[in-house]
Amino acid sequence: MTRNTPAHDTVVHTTIPTPIGPLLLVGDPTGLIHIGLPQSRHPLALDPAWRSDPDAFADARRQFDAYFAGERTDFDLPLAPRGTAFQRDVWSALCDIPYGETISYAELAHRIGRPRAVRAVGLANGANPLAIIVPCHRVIGADGSLTGYGGGLAAKRWLLSLERQRTPADFALA
């Protein structure tokens, strides 16, 4: 049987400052399990048994700093998101959206081979526990509009603007 929740005594959390506000990082020995956005509509309730560790996730801190400075286009961290097989399929497809680009929910549904499951894809996108690293902010409405984002539309707009300012080609020239 696969465990869907981590053992309480192995979960650590910390908060890191970013230009869009503080991010809550939660993880266990297998990797990051949650990134909480500052304006989250559904903030994670911290279990009192989880241990706060201000020194945790040093590599994640460095990578987030580089991302927010416009010096990094992707992340290389151990991840351990909890979700259904369908949700994990959607989250995996999100990771294939190139830095600086956007796609629609319909395109995302098509990419996972479920073109009629646009609403379910939208729900799975909204349930993404690893925002920014699993780039759900790169999914927009079919008409090009910015649609809901768990961290608020201002954060989504900021992230997309950051990524449009520096594309991977810029890094090759640097």
Active site positions, annotated: 136
Lookup: tokens for 78: 């151990």
Contact call for residues 135 and 97 (beta carbons, < 8 A): yes
Query: How many C-beta atoms surround the C-beta of residue 156 within 10 A?
Result: 23
Q: Is 8 helix (H, G, I), strand (E, B) or coil?
A: helix
d(CA 40, CA 67): 20
DSSP single-letter state for residue 79: B
Query: How many C-beta atoms surround the C-beta of residue 14 within 10 A?
Result: 20
